[in-house]
Amino acid sequence: MVEKLWGGRFEASLDKQTEEFGASIKFEQRLAPFDLKGSLAHVKMLGETGIITAEEATTIADGLIKVEEKLMNGQIEFKIENEDIHMNMETYLHDEIGPLAGKLHTARSRNDQVATDMHLYLKSILSDVLKALRTLRETIVNLSVNHVDTLMPGYTHLQHAQPISFAQHLMAYYQMFTRDFERFEFNVKHTDMNPLGAAALAGTTFPIDRELTTSLLEFEKAYANSMDAVSDRDFILEFLSNSSLLMMHLSRLCEELLLWSSHEFNFVSLSDNYSTGSSIMPQKKNPDMSELIRGKSGRVYGNLMSLLTVMKGLPLTYNKDLQEDKEGMFDSADTILTSLSVMDGMLSTMTVNRVNMEKATEQDFSNATELADYLAAKGLPFREAHELVGQLVLICIKKGIYLQEVSLKDYQALSQLIEEDVYEVLKSRTAVSRRNSLGGTGFESIKKQIEQAKKELQK
Protein backbone atom coordinates (compact mmCIF):
# COMPACT_ATOMS: atom_id res chain seq x y z
CA MET A 1 0.00 0.00 0.00
CA VAL A 2 1.06 3.58 -0.76
CA GLU A 3 1.73 5.39 2.50
CA LYS A 4 -0.48 8.41 3.05
CA LEU A 5 0.99 11.52 4.64
CA TRP A 6 -1.93 11.35 7.07
CA GLY A 7 -1.96 7.56 7.46
CA GLY A 8 -0.43 7.05 10.92
CA ARG A 9 -3.77 6.69 12.67
CA PHE A 10 -5.22 4.18 10.13
CA GLU A 11 -4.91 0.39 10.00
CA ALA A 12 -6.41 -0.15 6.54
CA SER A 13 -6.09 1.65 3.24
CA LEU A 14 -8.84 3.14 1.11
CA ASP A 15 -10.33 0.88 -1.51
CA LYS A 16 -9.63 1.90 -5.11
CA GLN A 17 -13.04 3.40 -5.87
CA THR A 18 -13.10 5.42 -2.66
CA GLU A 19 -9.58 6.67 -3.27
CA GLU A 20 -10.53 7.89 -6.75
CA PHE A 21 -13.79 9.40 -5.46
CA GLY A 22 -11.99 11.40 -2.78
CA ALA A 23 -8.99 12.50 -4.86
CA SER A 24 -8.99 16.07 -6.16
CA ILE A 25 -5.77 15.91 -8.18
CA LYS A 26 -7.72 15.26 -11.39
CA PHE A 27 -8.79 18.91 -11.49
CA GLU A 28 -6.30 20.57 -9.12
CA GLN A 29 -3.29 20.25 -11.41
CA ARG A 30 -3.50 23.86 -12.55
CA LEU A 31 -2.87 24.90 -8.93
CA ALA A 32 0.64 23.36 -9.02
CA PRO A 33 2.62 26.57 -9.72
CA PHE A 34 0.67 28.42 -7.03
CA ASP A 35 1.16 25.61 -4.54
CA LEU A 36 4.92 25.77 -5.10
CA LYS A 37 4.90 29.57 -4.80
CA GLY A 38 3.10 29.31 -1.46
CA SER A 39 5.53 26.66 -0.25
CA LEU A 40 8.54 28.77 -1.17
CA ALA A 41 7.17 31.68 0.83
CA HIS A 42 6.32 29.40 3.75
CA VAL A 43 9.75 27.79 3.94
CA LYS A 44 11.48 31.16 3.73
CA MET A 45 9.38 32.30 6.69
CA LEU A 46 10.18 29.08 8.61
CA GLY A 47 13.89 29.76 8.11
CA GLU A 48 13.79 33.44 9.00
CA THR A 49 11.80 32.84 12.19
CA GLY A 50 14.14 30.04 13.28
CA ILE A 51 11.38 27.42 13.26
CA ILE A 52 13.73 25.40 11.09
CA THR A 53 17.42 26.12 10.52
CA ALA A 54 18.59 28.38 7.71
CA GLU A 55 20.38 25.41 6.13
CA GLU A 56 17.21 23.32 6.19
CA ALA A 57 15.21 26.17 4.69
CA THR A 58 17.74 26.60 1.87
CA THR A 59 17.76 22.87 1.09
CA ILE A 60 13.96 22.73 1.00
CA ALA A 61 13.75 25.86 -1.14
CA ASP A 62 16.31 24.46 -3.59
CA GLY A 63 14.28 21.25 -3.77
CA LEU A 64 11.08 23.19 -4.45
CA ILE A 65 12.80 25.08 -7.27
CA LYS A 66 13.85 21.76 -8.83
CA VAL A 67 10.26 20.52 -8.62
CA GLU A 68 9.14 23.79 -10.18
CA GLU A 69 11.59 23.26 -13.07
CA LYS A 70 10.25 19.75 -13.61
CA LEU A 71 6.71 21.14 -13.65
CA MET A 72 7.60 23.74 -16.30
CA ASN A 73 9.35 21.06 -18.37
CA GLY A 74 6.34 18.74 -18.26
CA GLN A 75 8.16 16.13 -16.16
CA ILE A 76 5.58 15.93 -13.38
CA GLU A 77 3.14 13.02 -13.31
CA PHE A 78 0.19 13.69 -11.06
CA LYS A 79 -0.91 10.57 -9.19
CA ILE A 80 -4.34 9.83 -7.74
CA GLU A 81 -2.84 7.89 -4.85
CA ASN A 82 -1.29 11.18 -3.69
CA GLU A 83 -4.81 12.63 -3.52
CA ASP A 84 -4.30 16.34 -4.03
CA ILE A 85 -1.92 18.92 -5.40
CA HIS A 86 -0.19 19.45 -2.04
CA MET A 87 0.70 15.82 -1.45
CA ASN A 88 1.75 15.36 -5.07
CA MET A 89 4.15 18.30 -4.81
CA GLU A 90 5.45 17.20 -1.41
CA THR A 91 6.09 13.69 -2.74
CA TYR A 92 8.21 15.10 -5.56
CA LEU A 93 10.04 17.28 -3.03
CA HIS A 94 10.72 14.14 -0.97
CA ASP A 95 12.18 12.51 -4.08
CA GLU A 96 14.56 15.47 -4.40
CA ILE A 97 15.73 15.98 -0.81
CA GLY A 98 14.54 13.02 1.21
CA PRO A 99 12.84 13.06 4.64
CA LEU A 100 13.74 16.72 5.22
CA ALA A 101 10.79 17.48 2.90
CA GLY A 102 8.53 16.63 5.83
CA LYS A 103 9.63 19.79 7.66
CA LEU A 104 7.99 21.95 4.99
CA HIS A 105 4.60 21.21 6.50
CA THR A 106 5.58 22.61 9.90
CA ALA A 107 3.05 25.23 11.09
CA ARG A 108 0.87 24.59 8.06
CA SER A 109 -2.22 22.55 7.16
CA ARG A 110 -3.66 21.54 3.83
CA ASN A 111 -6.62 23.71 4.87
CA ASP A 112 -4.72 27.00 4.75
CA GLN A 113 -2.51 25.69 1.98
CA VAL A 114 -5.36 25.08 -0.48
CA ALA A 115 -6.99 28.37 0.44
CA THR A 116 -3.70 30.13 -0.31
CA ASP A 117 -3.39 28.32 -3.65
CA MET A 118 -6.86 29.42 -4.70
CA HIS A 119 -6.32 33.02 -3.65
CA LEU A 120 -3.12 33.10 -5.71
CA TYR A 121 -4.79 31.41 -8.69
CA LEU A 122 -7.86 33.63 -8.70
CA LYS A 123 -5.78 36.76 -8.22
CA SER A 124 -3.90 35.93 -11.44
CA ILE A 125 -7.17 35.15 -13.26
CA LEU A 126 -8.73 38.44 -12.16
CA SER A 127 -5.77 40.26 -13.66
CA ASP A 128 -6.40 38.49 -16.97
CA VAL A 129 -10.15 39.19 -16.82
CA LEU A 130 -9.61 42.88 -16.17
CA LYS A 131 -7.21 43.10 -19.12
CA ALA A 132 -9.68 41.32 -21.40
CA LEU A 133 -12.54 43.55 -20.28
CA ARG A 134 -10.47 46.65 -20.87
CA THR A 135 -9.66 45.42 -24.39
CA LEU A 136 -13.32 44.72 -25.17
CA ARG A 137 -14.37 48.13 -23.87
CA GLU A 138 -11.70 49.79 -26.04
CA THR A 139 -12.99 47.89 -29.08
CA ILE A 140 -16.54 49.06 -28.39
CA VAL A 141 -15.40 52.68 -28.04
CA ASN A 142 -13.37 52.51 -31.26
CA LEU A 143 -16.37 51.03 -33.07
CA SER A 144 -18.62 53.74 -31.64
CA VAL A 145 -16.30 56.50 -32.87
CA ASN A 146 -16.92 55.28 -36.43
CA HIS A 147 -20.69 55.05 -36.04
CA VAL A 148 -21.81 58.18 -34.23
CA ASP A 149 -23.82 59.21 -37.30
CA THR A 150 -24.98 55.69 -38.23
CA LEU A 151 -28.72 55.51 -37.61
CA MET A 152 -30.75 52.49 -36.59
CA PRO A 153 -34.10 51.78 -34.96
CA GLY A 154 -34.13 51.71 -31.19
CA TYR A 155 -36.38 49.00 -29.81
CA THR A 156 -38.72 48.39 -26.91
CA HIS A 157 -40.55 45.04 -26.79
CA LEU A 158 -38.46 44.28 -29.93
CA GLN A 159 -40.68 46.74 -31.78
CA HIS A 160 -39.40 49.88 -33.50
CA ALA A 161 -39.55 52.62 -30.87
CA GLN A 162 -37.40 55.62 -31.79
CA PRO A 163 -34.47 56.18 -34.14
CA ILE A 164 -31.10 56.17 -32.43
CA SER A 165 -27.41 56.27 -33.25
CA PHE A 166 -25.73 52.88 -33.56
CA ALA A 167 -22.97 54.28 -31.36
CA GLN A 168 -25.54 54.91 -28.62
CA HIS A 169 -26.51 51.25 -28.75
CA LEU A 170 -22.89 50.16 -28.58
CA MET A 171 -22.09 52.53 -25.74
CA ALA A 172 -24.89 51.00 -23.68
CA TYR A 173 -22.85 47.78 -23.72
CA TYR A 174 -19.72 49.75 -22.88
CA GLN A 175 -21.50 50.86 -19.71
CA MET A 176 -22.49 47.28 -18.85
CA PHE A 177 -18.96 46.00 -19.33
CA THR A 178 -17.60 48.91 -17.32
CA ARG A 179 -19.79 47.90 -14.39
CA ASP A 180 -18.47 44.34 -14.84
CA PHE A 181 -14.93 45.72 -14.77
CA GLU A 182 -15.66 47.56 -11.53
CA ARG A 183 -17.17 44.44 -9.94
CA PHE A 184 -14.11 42.35 -10.81
CA GLU A 185 -11.89 45.15 -9.52
CA PHE A 186 -13.69 44.95 -6.18
CA ASN A 187 -13.38 41.16 -6.30
CA VAL A 188 -9.61 41.67 -6.19
CA LYS A 189 -9.96 43.31 -2.77
CA HIS A 190 -11.34 40.12 -1.21
CA THR A 191 -9.03 37.84 -3.20
CA ASP A 192 -5.87 39.74 -2.28
CA MET A 193 -5.85 38.24 1.23
CA ASN A 194 -3.45 35.74 2.75
CA PRO A 195 -4.85 32.67 4.56
CA LEU A 196 -1.43 31.08 5.06
CA GLY A 197 -0.61 30.62 8.73
CA ALA A 198 -4.19 29.88 9.78
CA ALA A 199 -3.15 26.20 9.76
CA ALA A 200 -6.07 23.77 10.19
CA LEU A 201 -8.36 26.37 11.78
CA ALA A 202 -6.92 27.65 15.06
CA GLY A 203 -3.55 29.07 14.06
CA THR A 204 -0.34 27.51 15.38
CA THR A 205 1.89 27.46 18.43
CA PHE A 206 4.97 28.07 16.26
CA PRO A 207 6.24 31.67 16.16
CA ILE A 208 5.29 32.23 12.52
CA ASP A 209 5.40 35.59 10.75
CA ARG A 210 2.21 35.98 8.70
CA GLU A 211 3.14 39.50 7.69
CA LEU A 212 6.28 38.12 6.05
CA THR A 213 4.41 35.52 3.99
CA THR A 214 1.82 38.15 3.10
CA SER A 215 4.60 40.33 1.73
CA LEU A 216 6.40 37.47 -0.02
CA LEU A 217 3.20 36.36 -1.76
CA GLU A 218 2.31 39.98 -2.61
CA PHE A 219 -1.03 39.88 -0.85
CA GLU A 220 -2.51 43.14 0.40
CA LYS A 221 -3.21 41.79 3.87
CA ALA A 222 -3.59 38.64 5.96
CA TYR A 223 -6.92 37.25 7.16
CA ALA A 224 -7.71 38.60 10.62
CA ASN A 225 -9.38 35.38 11.81
CA SER A 226 -7.89 31.92 11.32
CA MET A 227 -11.28 30.16 11.20
CA ASP A 228 -12.53 32.55 8.54
CA ALA A 229 -9.28 32.15 6.61
CA VAL A 230 -9.69 28.42 5.97
CA SER A 231 -13.47 28.37 5.45
CA ASP A 232 -14.03 31.55 3.42
CA ARG A 233 -15.05 31.04 -0.20
CA ASP A 234 -16.76 34.40 -0.61
CA PHE A 235 -14.03 35.55 -2.96
CA ILE A 236 -14.85 32.64 -5.30
CA LEU A 237 -18.59 33.25 -4.98
CA GLU A 238 -18.01 36.91 -5.86
CA PHE A 239 -16.03 35.79 -8.89
CA LEU A 240 -18.78 33.40 -9.98
CA SER A 241 -21.46 36.03 -9.40
CA ASN A 242 -19.50 38.62 -11.36
CA SER A 243 -18.86 36.05 -14.08
CA SER A 244 -22.59 35.32 -14.30
CA LEU A 245 -23.41 39.00 -14.73
CA LEU A 246 -20.69 39.33 -17.35
CA MET A 247 -21.98 36.31 -19.27
CA MET A 248 -25.50 37.74 -19.11
CA HIS A 249 -24.24 40.96 -20.73
CA LEU A 250 -22.26 39.04 -23.34
CA SER A 251 -25.30 36.87 -24.02
CA ARG A 252 -27.53 39.90 -24.56
CA LEU A 253 -25.06 41.35 -27.04
CA CYS A 254 -24.83 37.97 -28.77
CA GLU A 255 -28.60 37.90 -29.12
CA GLU A 256 -28.44 41.33 -30.80
CA LEU A 257 -25.72 40.13 -33.17
CA LEU A 258 -27.81 37.07 -34.02
CA LEU A 259 -30.81 39.23 -34.87
CA TRP A 260 -28.80 41.88 -36.72
CA SER A 261 -27.02 39.30 -38.89
CA SER A 262 -30.26 37.58 -39.93
CA HIS A 263 -31.69 38.03 -43.45
CA GLU A 264 -34.64 39.95 -42.01
CA PHE A 265 -32.48 42.55 -40.28
CA ASN A 266 -29.27 42.51 -42.35
CA PHE A 267 -27.75 45.21 -40.14
CA VAL A 268 -24.35 43.52 -39.72
CA SER A 269 -22.32 40.76 -41.34
CA LEU A 270 -20.05 38.71 -39.10
CA SER A 271 -16.62 37.76 -40.34
CA ASP A 272 -16.11 34.26 -41.75
CA ASN A 273 -13.58 33.81 -38.93
CA TYR A 274 -16.47 33.76 -36.47
CA SER A 275 -19.08 31.89 -38.52
CA THR A 276 -19.71 28.32 -39.65
CA GLY A 277 -21.67 26.60 -42.41
CA SER A 278 -24.27 23.88 -42.70
CA SER A 279 -23.61 20.25 -43.59
CA ILE A 280 -26.72 20.16 -45.80
CA MET A 281 -27.60 23.77 -46.75
CA PRO A 282 -24.73 25.25 -48.79
CA GLN A 283 -25.97 28.83 -48.54
CA LYS A 284 -25.85 28.99 -44.75
CA LYS A 285 -23.52 31.23 -42.77
CA ASN A 286 -24.26 30.59 -39.13
CA PRO A 287 -23.26 32.95 -36.28
CA ASP A 288 -22.34 29.96 -34.12
CA MET A 289 -19.87 31.76 -31.90
CA SER A 290 -22.59 34.16 -30.75
CA GLU A 291 -24.83 31.20 -30.02
CA LEU A 292 -22.10 29.43 -28.09
CA ILE A 293 -21.42 32.43 -25.86
CA ARG A 294 -25.15 32.79 -25.29
CA GLY A 295 -25.36 29.10 -24.40
CA LYS A 296 -22.29 29.07 -22.16
CA SER A 297 -23.91 31.63 -19.88
CA GLY A 298 -25.94 28.71 -18.50
CA ARG A 299 -22.89 26.75 -17.33
CA VAL A 300 -21.49 29.81 -15.53
CA TYR A 301 -24.84 30.38 -13.81
CA GLY A 302 -24.76 26.71 -12.82
CA ASN A 303 -21.29 27.04 -11.32
CA LEU A 304 -22.52 29.90 -9.12
CA MET A 305 -25.59 27.98 -7.96
CA SER A 306 -23.47 24.88 -7.33
CA LEU A 307 -21.08 26.62 -4.93
CA LEU A 308 -23.85 28.58 -3.22
CA THR A 309 -25.56 25.26 -2.56
CA VAL A 310 -22.33 23.68 -1.29
CA MET A 311 -21.71 26.55 1.10
CA LYS A 312 -25.19 27.15 2.48
CA GLY A 313 -25.13 24.50 5.21
CA LEU A 314 -21.46 24.23 6.14
CA PRO A 315 -20.54 24.75 9.79
CA LEU A 316 -17.14 26.28 10.49
CA THR A 317 -14.53 25.48 9.48
CA TYR A 318 -13.15 23.15 6.80
CA ASN A 319 -15.35 20.39 5.39
CA LYS A 320 -14.60 18.03 2.53
CA ASP A 321 -17.55 19.58 0.66
CA LEU A 322 -15.21 22.49 -0.04
CA GLN A 323 -13.33 20.30 -2.49
CA GLU A 324 -16.24 21.13 -4.81
CA ASP A 325 -15.21 24.80 -4.93
CA LYS A 326 -12.58 24.43 -7.66
CA GLU A 327 -14.01 22.89 -10.82
CA GLY A 328 -16.70 25.55 -11.22
CA MET A 329 -14.14 28.29 -10.59
CA PHE A 330 -11.76 26.84 -13.19
CA ASP A 331 -14.56 26.29 -15.70
CA SER A 332 -15.96 29.80 -15.27
CA ALA A 333 -12.52 31.35 -15.61
CA ASP A 334 -11.90 29.46 -18.85
CA THR A 335 -15.38 30.29 -20.15
CA ILE A 336 -15.37 34.03 -19.53
CA LEU A 337 -11.82 34.58 -20.78
CA THR A 338 -12.54 32.72 -24.03
CA SER A 339 -15.93 34.42 -24.42
CA LEU A 340 -14.40 37.86 -23.96
CA SER A 341 -11.73 37.12 -26.55
CA VAL A 342 -14.23 35.76 -29.09
CA MET A 343 -16.62 38.68 -28.55
CA ASP A 344 -13.80 41.15 -29.07
CA GLY A 345 -12.87 39.40 -32.30
CA MET A 346 -16.45 39.36 -33.58
CA LEU A 347 -16.99 43.06 -32.93
CA SER A 348 -13.66 44.21 -34.34
CA THR A 349 -14.12 42.27 -37.61
CA MET A 350 -17.85 42.60 -38.34
CA THR A 351 -19.20 44.70 -41.20
CA VAL A 352 -21.89 47.26 -40.37
CA ASN A 353 -24.52 47.73 -43.07
CA ARG A 354 -25.19 51.44 -42.50
CA VAL A 355 -27.63 51.85 -45.39
CA ASN A 356 -29.89 49.04 -44.20
CA MET A 357 -29.82 50.34 -40.65
CA GLU A 358 -30.86 53.85 -41.63
CA LYS A 359 -33.43 52.61 -44.14
CA ALA A 360 -35.12 50.71 -41.31
CA THR A 361 -35.73 54.02 -39.51
CA GLU A 362 -37.53 55.50 -42.52
CA GLN A 363 -40.07 52.77 -43.15
CA ASP A 364 -41.72 52.69 -39.77
CA PHE A 365 -43.49 54.93 -37.29
CA SER A 366 -40.55 55.44 -34.95
CA ASN A 367 -40.89 59.18 -35.63
CA ALA A 368 -44.37 59.30 -34.04
CA THR A 369 -42.91 60.56 -30.76
CA GLU A 370 -41.28 63.40 -32.70
CA LEU A 371 -44.70 64.53 -33.94
CA ALA A 372 -46.18 64.30 -30.45
CA ASP A 373 -43.25 66.30 -29.00
CA TYR A 374 -43.63 68.82 -31.85
CA LEU A 375 -47.27 69.46 -30.91
CA ALA A 376 -46.46 69.55 -27.18
CA ALA A 377 -43.72 72.11 -27.80
CA LYS A 378 -46.34 74.29 -29.49
CA GLY A 379 -48.56 74.23 -26.42
CA LEU A 380 -50.81 71.20 -26.88
CA PRO A 381 -50.91 69.05 -23.74
CA PHE A 382 -48.78 65.95 -24.39
CA ARG A 383 -51.61 63.55 -23.59
CA GLU A 384 -53.77 65.19 -26.27
CA ALA A 385 -50.86 65.21 -28.69
CA HIS A 386 -50.26 61.50 -27.99
CA GLU A 387 -53.93 60.73 -28.71
CA LEU A 388 -53.97 62.72 -31.99
CA VAL A 389 -50.76 61.12 -33.28
CA GLY A 390 -52.00 57.66 -32.33
CA GLN A 391 -55.14 58.22 -34.38
CA LEU A 392 -53.07 59.49 -37.30
CA VAL A 393 -50.78 56.43 -37.18
CA LEU A 394 -53.84 54.20 -37.41
CA ILE A 395 -55.06 56.13 -40.45
CA CYS A 396 -51.62 55.83 -42.07
CA ILE A 397 -51.51 52.07 -41.47
CA LYS A 398 -54.87 51.68 -43.16
CA LYS A 399 -53.69 53.79 -46.12
CA GLY A 400 -50.29 52.07 -46.32
CA ILE A 401 -48.28 55.26 -45.88
CA TYR A 402 -45.89 56.72 -43.29
CA LEU A 403 -46.05 59.97 -41.33
CA GLN A 404 -43.62 61.76 -43.62
CA GLU A 405 -45.95 60.97 -46.54
CA VAL A 406 -49.00 62.70 -45.02
CA SER A 407 -49.84 65.92 -46.86
CA LEU A 408 -49.58 69.28 -45.09
CA LYS A 409 -53.29 69.78 -45.77
CA ASP A 410 -54.16 66.57 -43.92
CA TYR A 411 -51.79 67.52 -41.09
CA GLN A 412 -53.43 70.90 -40.66
CA ALA A 413 -56.82 69.26 -40.71
CA LEU A 414 -55.57 67.32 -37.69
CA SER A 415 -54.16 70.42 -35.96
CA GLN A 416 -53.58 74.04 -37.02
CA LEU A 417 -50.43 73.94 -34.91
CA ILE A 418 -48.69 71.86 -37.58
CA GLU A 419 -46.66 73.81 -40.14
CA GLU A 420 -44.37 72.90 -43.03
CA ASP A 421 -41.39 72.52 -40.72
CA VAL A 422 -42.95 69.27 -39.48
CA TYR A 423 -41.30 67.34 -42.34
CA GLU A 424 -37.84 68.27 -41.12
CA VAL A 425 -38.82 67.24 -37.60
CA LEU A 426 -40.01 63.85 -38.87
CA LYS A 427 -36.65 62.97 -40.43
CA SER A 428 -34.92 60.26 -38.40
CA ARG A 429 -31.58 62.07 -38.55
CA THR A 430 -33.22 65.20 -37.14
CA ALA A 431 -34.90 63.14 -34.43
CA VAL A 432 -31.58 61.68 -33.34
CA SER A 433 -29.57 64.89 -33.54
CA ARG A 434 -31.99 66.79 -31.27
CA ARG A 435 -31.75 64.35 -28.33
CA ASN A 436 -28.74 65.82 -26.58
CA SER A 437 -29.98 65.48 -23.02
CA LEU A 438 -27.43 63.91 -20.67
CA GLY A 439 -26.92 60.32 -21.82
CA GLY A 440 -29.20 60.78 -24.84
CA THR A 441 -28.72 59.52 -28.38
CA GLY A 442 -27.97 62.93 -29.89
CA PHE A 443 -24.72 63.09 -31.81
CA GLU A 444 -23.19 65.64 -29.43
CA SER A 445 -24.30 63.61 -26.42
CA ILE A 446 -22.71 60.45 -27.81
CA LYS A 447 -19.46 62.26 -28.52
CA LYS A 448 -19.39 63.29 -24.86
CA GLN A 449 -20.04 59.68 -23.80
CA ILE A 450 -17.17 58.49 -25.97
CA GLU A 451 -14.79 61.13 -24.65
CA GLN A 452 -15.67 60.19 -21.08
CA ALA A 453 -15.09 56.52 -21.90
CA LYS A 454 -11.67 57.29 -23.37
CA LYS A 455 -10.71 59.05 -20.15
CA GLU A 456 -11.87 56.07 -18.10
CA LEU A 457 -9.85 53.68 -20.21
CA GLN A 458 -6.69 55.73 -19.68
CA LYS A 459 -6.84 55.27 -15.89
Residue numbers annotated as active site: 157, 278
Give the integer Cα–Cα distance in Å for 71 and 61: 15
Give whole-number Cα distances, 316 to 114, 228, 230, 312, in Å: 16, 8, 9, 11
Closest CA to 452 of 144, 40, 104, 208: 144
Return the bridge partners of 352, or none: 268
Strand spans (E) along 157-252: 159-165, 193-194, 221-222
Give the integer Cα–Cα distance in Å for 397 and 130: 50
Closest CA to 233 of 350, 324, 299, 155: 324
Backbone φ/ψ region at 193: left (φ over 0), alpha (ψ -120 to 50), beta? beta
Closest CA to 348 of 127, 145, 128: 145
Strand spans (E) along 157-196: 159-165, 193-194
Radius of gyration from C-alpha coordinates of the chain:
31
Give whole-number Cα distances, 418 to 385, 402, 430, in Å: 11, 16, 17
106 Cβ contact list (under 8 Å, min separation 6): 46, 51, 52, 206
| Helix (H) or strand (E) segment spanning residue 422 | helix 422-425
| Helix (H) or strand (E) segment spanning residue 394 | helix 382-399
Q: Give me the helix-helix angle, 32-48 and 85-97, nearest 10°.
A: 60
Return the bridge partners of 159, or none: 156
